Amino acid sequence: GAVVSQHPSWVICKSGTSVKIECRSLDFQATTMFWYRQFPKQSLMLMATSNEGSKATYEQGVEKDKFLINHASLTLSTLTVTSAHPEDSSFYICSAWPLAAASYNEQFFGPGTRLTVL
Amino acid sequence: DQQVKQNSPSLSVQEGRISILNCDYTNSMFDYFLWYKKYPAEGPTFLISISSIKDKNEDGRFTVFLNKSAKHLSLHIVPSQPGDSAVYFCAAGSSNTGKLIFGQGTTLQVKP
């Protein structure tokens, strides 16, 4: 159990287009999901906290109009990179915090999505 | 402002020996700490965690030590195995928000 999936696993797009990445908790419900970004050979940087039924909260320096987050259900959060540019090329990872989590340990990560903007 | 730091980008050890990975943090508000193992193009895999009220937690070959006064934690792997070769990230979090701040990672290579 406790599986988090991401779709697509990799995507290549042209500069100026928008890309949507899905994060799904497959066998549990999560009111909170997190989105991270990792550049090559760097750390995972928290981008935003996605809360079901409410607006996402963004970390300092993350453009909320560029990275649109929607958490419409207890099992799905989406990240849309709008008007993507080559500098947005990165590895995007989500994590899901189960609704019934007994402890902070119970946060599960997806496999990540590789975005390449040409 | 790097709140969580892993100052050693890489570590190489011989199979069967101990691997010690270190992590420092600056924010006293963190109340729990975790270690993750990660391969390229994959999500992190949880290894072990420790609450700020403890100074040691052990799980099989993995032991995490926390020194709150020094704002330092370490992960000990013993005995090290070639399958342990990966990038290891420490992360610090706040239990009320679930937000995690990751270090830069340490690449561990265990040589047969």
Q: Within 10 Å of residue A14's Cβ, how many Cβ atoms? A: 8
Interacting residues of B93 by C-beta distance below 8 A, sequence separation 6+: A104, B30, B31, B32, B33, B34, B99, B100, B101
pLDDT at A102 (0 to 100):
64
Phi/psi for A49 (5° steps) reads -105, 125
**Residue A110 at interface with chain B, using a CB cutoff of 8 Å:** yes
**Interface contacts A/B by beta carbons within 8 Å:** 55
pLDDT of residue B64: 98
Where are the alpha helices (H) located in A1-118, listed in sequence order? Answer: none
Query: A36: which chain B residues are within 8 Å (Cβ-Cβ)?
Result: 102
Tokens 């928008």 found at: A18
Asked if residue B106 lies in contact with residue B88, where contact means CB atoms within 8 angstroms, the answer is yes
Confirm if B68 and B25 have CB atoms less than 8 A apart.
no
Asked whether the beta carbons of A115 and A88 are under 8 A apart, the reply is yes
Low-confidence ranges of chain A (pLDDT < 50): none
State whether residue B83 is helix, strand or coil: helix
Q: What is the rounded distance in angstroms from the CA atom of residue B1 to the CA atom of residue A101?
A: 30
Residue (of B73, B7, B6) closest to B34 by Cα position: B73
Among residues B4, B9, B38, the alpha carbon closest in space to that of B24 is found at: B4
Which residues in chain B have their CB less than 8 angstroms from residue A97's CB?
Answer: 98
State which residue of chain A sits closest to B96, comparing Cα positions.
A104
- Taking each continuous run of H as one helix and of E as one strand, the counts in chain A are 0, 11
Question: Which pLDDT belongs to residue B9?
Answer: 94
Residue numbers in B near A109 (CB within 8 A): 36, 43-46
pLDDT at A103: 67
**Predicted local distance difference test score (pLDDT) of residue A79:** 97
Among B32, B36, B101, whose Cβ lies nearest the Cβ of A104?
A: B32
Per-10-residue mean pLDDT, chain B, length 112: 91 98 94 93 92 96 97 98 97 88 96 96
